Amino acid sequence: MTSDPAGLPEDVVALIGQRQYPQTATFAVERSFTDNTLAATGNGNPLYWDEGVADELTGGMTALPTTLSLWMRPHYWEPGAEGEQVALKVHFDLKERFGLPEAVMTDNTLTFHDPVRPGDVISHAQVLRSVSGPKTTKLGAGRFWVIDIEYRNQDDDLVGVESYTGFGYRREEA
Amino acid sequence: MGGLQLSGVNEGAALPELTVEVTPTTVVLGALASRDWRPMHHDHRFATERNGVRDIFLNTPNQAAWIERYITDWTGPRGRLGQMTFRMRDSVFPGDAMTFTGRITEVASDDTGCGWASLEITVTAREGGEGEPRIATTCSARVAVPVDDDDNPWSRRGENWKPSTPGSK
C-alpha cells in the first residue's frame, strides 16, 4: 500500500515531520572531548586552549561548534542497554524498514546557535523530512532520506541544528 | 587581540592551502574523539568486506572538525562559524594526502551589522600523495568575522545572531 509518488508506505509517510526519539544526554558536556577533537585535527585555536582568550571572547570555555552531535552520541555500552547503541535512530529505522543493510551519509548541514559549554546537558529530537523513491548509485540500489536534529541545552536554548542526507542501499550482486 | 577583520576579506580570494598526511591513527583518533563507534572507522576487515572500500575512512563529524580547523586557522579565534553544508563525494583513507583549499565567494553584512564571509572549501585526497587528486568533500561555509576592533561575533545572541545562509532554513 503506497500513498505518494515516491512509492512510500503509509507508515513511513506518517512519520515525516514528526519529532521522534526526544532524548536528553546521559552525560554532561566535557572539555576533554573538545580537547580530543582539537588533538585529532591539530587545531590550535586559542579560544579552546587559553582560558584568558575564552573569558574575553565567549565569557568562558566553550565546546568546538562541530562537536555538536558528539554530546548526544550514546556510550558504546552501558548497563541495561541491549545490543549495539546507535545514534540517529531514525536512520537505522529506515534501513530496517526498507531492508537496506548498508548506508552512507552524503550531505550534512550544521547550523550553530548559542555556544555549548562544559557542564551543559544537551537534548535533541529527530525529525524525518523526506524519503526518496528507489534510486541506484554506484554503491547499489536504495533510497535517500533527510533527517533533521535540533539540539537544545538545559535552559531550552537552541544550540544547533543538524540536517543529514543518508543513502540506504543494498550492494549490487557481482 | 588581532586577527582577521571584514575589511581584509576579499571576494574571490583564496584561503591558504593545508595538506595533512592521513594515517590509521588520524582516522581512529578522529572517530573516537567524536564518539563514533561504527566499525568502518576502526575495523579494516569490516570496511573492506562489508562496505566494499579499500580501508577504514574518516567519519563525517571528524571531517567537519577538520574543516572547522581549516576555517578558524584563517579567521583566528574571533571568527564564529554560522553554518556549514558539506557533501562527501569520496572517502578519505589512511595513506592519502588530504588537502584543503578554499575560496571566498561572498562578503556581506546582515541587518544586525554582523559581518559574514561565505566560503567554498574543497577537500581532495591523493593516494600515497601521488597521482590525480580526487575530490573527497566539498563544503559551503558561512563564518562571522569582526567588522572592527570592537566587534566580537561571539557576543551575539538571539535575534542578533543569524547563522543560516539567507534563503536556507
Half-sphere exposure of A102 (CA within 13 A, CB side): 19
User: What is the number of structural domains in chain B?
Assistant: 1
Residue A34 lies in a domain: yes
Q: What value, to the nearest 5°, has the Cα angle with vertex B7 and ends B5 and B10?
A: 105
CA distance A75 to A162: 20
pLDDT at A83: 66
pLDDT one-digit tens code per residue, B126-143? 998 788 899 999 999 999
In a 10 Å sphere around its CB, with 0-12 CB exposed, 13-18 middle and 19+ buried, how is residue B12 labelled? Answer: exposed
Rounded mean pLDDT, A114-128: 96
- A170 Cα to chain B: minimum distance (Å): 10
**Chain mean pLDDT for chain B:** 94
Domain coverage including residue A49: 10-170
B77–chain A Cβ distance below 8 A for any pair: yes
Residue B84 has its nearest CB partner, among A53, A106, A109, at: A109
Residue B82 lies in a domain: yes
**Residue of chain B whose alpha carbon sits nearest to that of A170:** B51
ipTM: 0.94
pLDDT at B3: 80
By three-state DSSP, how is residue B88 classified? strand
Asked if A53's CB is within 8 angstroms of B1's CB, the reply is yes
Helix, strand, coil abundance in chain A, percent, nearest 5:
25, 30, 40
Rounded mean pLDDT, A109-114: 96
Identify all chain A residues contacting B37, using CB atoms and an 8 Å cutoff.
76, 85
Choose from A112, A129, A151 for mutation: most chain B CBs within 10 A. A112
Domain coverage including residue B55: 6-156
pLDDT one-digit tens code per residue, A27-75? 999 999 899 999 999 999 999 999 999 999 999 999 999 999 899 888 8
Residue B169 lies in a domain: no
- B169 has pLDDT over 60: no
B146–chain A Cβ distance below 8 A for any pair: no
Residue A1 lies in a domain: no
Q: Report how far apart, in Å, the C-alpha atoms of A62 and of each of A2, A35, A66, A86 are.
A: 47, 11, 11, 26
pLDDT at B131: 82
In CATH, what number is assigned to the domain containing residue B30? 3.10.129.10
- B20 has pLDDT over 80: yes
B61–chain A Cβ distance below 8 A for any pair: yes
Lookup result for grid cell 587581540: B1
pLDDT at A25: 92
Residue B1 lies in a domain: no
| CA torsion through residues B144, B149, B154, B156, sign | negative
User: What is the number of structural domains in chain A?
Assistant: 1
pLDDT one-digit tens code per residue, B35-77? 999 999 999 999 999 988 899 999 989 999 999 999 999 999 9
Q: Report how far apart, in Å, the C-alpha atoms of A116 and of each of A52, A154, A155, B50, B132 are.
A: 18, 11, 12, 36, 40
Residue A130 lies in a domain: yes
Question: Using 50, 70 and 90 to split pLDDT, how confident is the model at A144?
Answer: very high
In CATH, what number is assigned to the domain containing residue A55? 3.10.129.10
Rounded mean pLDDT, A1-7: 59
Q: Report how far apart, in Å, the C-alpha atoms of A134 and of each of A100, A105, B36 are.
A: 11, 16, 28
- A3 Cα to chain B: minimum distance (Å): 27
CA distance A85 to A75: 7
B108–chain A Cβ distance below 8 A for any pair: no
B46–chain A Cβ distance below 8 A for any pair: no
Residue A115 lies in a domain: yes
Residue B168 lies in a domain: no
pLDDT at B18: 98
Residue A53 lies in a domain: yes
B149–chain A Cβ distance below 8 A for any pair: no
Question: Using 50, 70 and 90 to split pLDDT, how confident is the model at A4?
Answer: low
Question: Using 50, 70 and 90 to split pLDDT, how confident is the model at A85?
Answer: low
Residue A4 lies in a domain: no
CA distance A68 to A90: 18
Identify all chain A residues contacting B163, using CB atoms and an 8 Å cutoff.
111-113
Task: Tell me the percentage of chain B whose pLDDT exceeds 90.
Answer: 85
pLDDT at A1: 45
pLDDT at A86: 63
**Chain mean pLDDT for chain A:** 91
Residue B115 lies in a domain: yes
A137–chain B Cβ distance below 8 A for any pair: no
Cell of B39: 566499525
Asked if B87's CB is within 8 angstroms of A73's CB, the reply is no
Question: Using 50, 70 and 90 to split pLDDT, how confident is the model at B2?
Answer: low
**Residue of chain A whose alpha carbon sits nearest to that of B64:** A66
B81–chain A Cβ distance below 8 A for any pair: yes
Identify all chain B residues contacting A139, using CB atoms and an 8 Å cutoff.
52
